Amino acid sequence: MTLDQFMTYLAKPGAPLSDAEIAAFEAEIGVRLPDDYRAFLQAVNGGALGGALLIHGATADGDPFDTDIQHVGGLRPEPQLDLRNARSVYQDWVARIPRELIWIMDDSSGNAICLGLAGEARGRVYFWDQEREPDLDETDGTIEGAGNVSLIAHSFETFFSGLQLATRL
């Protein structure tokens, strides 16, 4: 899927972000976002898809994987579309989503699509399954220790290009 195609399905798109706005957010979180995702934010500052696009394929382990995309994050005033709010919900006082990841989208079931920010995860895209969330006393806060995080793409660009239009029966 191209960016132009993606934008035709996006409801409530935000104004594109400037490099300065993205840099200010990066300063808040203490890490520079991967370049392909920065470029995406400069074009698409979040919005709603309402399940119009699907992620279809397999995890890195080869398990089948299908879900829709509901909300797309940006630096927005609406809590369900805001990257800062997502960090507050999932990573402030306890890391429900491992700290080397950042929420960037969700599906209609409340599961998260996350982008890797650090280490081997950097630039990769992951699925965080809320139904399989571990007891927070029993996890070490890492991707490997979470047990509910699956690699779905080796880069944001690969993930993005693999999005498909949802077909309704």
Domains of the chain as residue ranges with CATH: 3-165 (3.40.1580.10)
pLDDT tens profile 82-127: 999 999 888 876 778 898 999 999 999 999 999 999 999 999 999 9
74: which residues sit within 8 A by CB, 6+ positions away? 14, 17, 41, 44, 45, 46, 47, 81, 82, 83
Predicted confidence at residue 61, as pLDDT, reads: 67
pLDDT band at 169 (very low <50, low <70, confident <90, very high): very low
Q: Where are the beta strands (DSSP E) in 107-159?
A: 112-116, 125-128, 149-153
